Copies of this chain bind each other. A is one copy, B any other.
Amino acid sequence: MATITKKELIDQISEKTKTKRIIVKRIVQAFLDDVIEELGQDNRLEFRDFGVFETKSRAARIAQNPKTLQRVQVPPKRTVKFKSGRLMKLRLREQDDKAIQNTGTDGSQQ
């Protein structure tokens, strides 16, 4: 298991698409920036096959300290959720199936 950085991915894409590195970098950065902006505006992003990004909110609420009985305001908070799409799930399942075939952990005959 390796960690791939933005820089490494940009190099890969530049080679694969035969596009200058500087152009790939600009577009990938614009893509990531735009996703952040849209999520900041509470928009949902749906990339077919890849997956969906959306924000989830926890409403503001009043909590009480059980010892002091003091009530405190807990501010609202939003987080980002990602749900993987069709192709991403398929790729992971393919890998899982290979693992099953290699180890025979599903008990079926190959």
Contacts and interface: CB of A to CB of B under 8 A. Distances in A.
B88 A44 contact: no
Given A31-B13, A46-B4, A51 B80 contact: yes
A99 interface: yes
A44 B2 contact: yes
A47 B22 CA distance: 17
A13 B30 contact: yes
A30 B45 contact: no
Interface of A: 1-6, 9, 12-13, 16-17, 19, 23-24, 26-28, 30-32, 34-51, 53, 55, 60, 73, 75-82, 84, 87-88, 91-92, 94-96, 99-100, 103, 105-107
